[in-house]
């Protein structure tokens, strides 16, 4: 993949594994490939960009639980961090809901802390380049934003309070 896009310097390779993967060995050896963790090695990746949802797994009920391992890898590999996909689970197909009305507020605060180094074990700041939301009915629940949540996003200048000039709100006006 890296060779195929080598002629396009404006294209970045985002490593986007599921939030259920835990990149333990990759964090210890970020330059090396770790096949069982799907990590191709730091030389082949431009951005660490996992996906996760509050409630996709019970232990992913807060942003630090969902993304902390990947932030640690971004820090160790000295790569920017991107949340490729995230959302609020309003109800689950199993009939058990994992609803967290504060998911985006908590996520914004967590990312602000990541950028300042407060949420990173090394104390280094990690460059957060973006967040993509996921708002539709899915097989694991309804992630549709309520109007009040949309207004909250707009009031917080899109997804990244820390860098609103680099973020674009997904909320139509």
Percent of the chain having pLDDT more than 70?
Answer: 64
DSSP string across 94-152: TS-----TTHHHHHHHHHHHHHHTTTSTT-----EEEEEE--SEETTEE-PPPHHHHHH
pLDDT at position 49: 93
CB 91 within 8 A of CB 141: yes
CA distance 141 to 150: 18
Enter the pTM of the model: 0.78
Q: How many other C-beta atoms lie within 10 A of the C-beta of residue 40? A: 17
pLDDT at 18 over 50: yes
pLDDT tier at 10, thresholds 50, 70, 90? confident
């Amino acid at each position: 993949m890296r060779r195929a896009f080598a002629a396009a310097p404006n294209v970045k390779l985002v490593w986007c594994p599921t939030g259920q993967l835990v990149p333990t060995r990759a964090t210890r050896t970020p330059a090396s490939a770790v096949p069982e963790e799907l990590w191709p090695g730091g030389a082949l990746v431009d951005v660490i960009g996992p996906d996760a949802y509050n409630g996709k797994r019970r232990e992913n009920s807060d942003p630090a639980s969902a993304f902390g391992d990947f932030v640690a890898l971004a820090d160790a590999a000295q790569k920017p961090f991107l949340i490729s996909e995230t959302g609020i689970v309003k109800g689950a197909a199993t009939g058990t809901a994992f609803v967290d009305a504060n998911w985006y507020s908590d996520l914004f605060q967590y990312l602000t802390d990541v950028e300042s180094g407060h949420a990173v074990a090394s104390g280094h700041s990690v460059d957060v380049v973006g967040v993509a939301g996921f708002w539709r009915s899915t097989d694991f629940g309804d992630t549709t934003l309520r109007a009040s949540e949309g207004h909250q996003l707009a009031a917080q200048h899109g997804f990244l309070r820390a860098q609103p000039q680099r973020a674009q709100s997904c909320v139509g006006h």
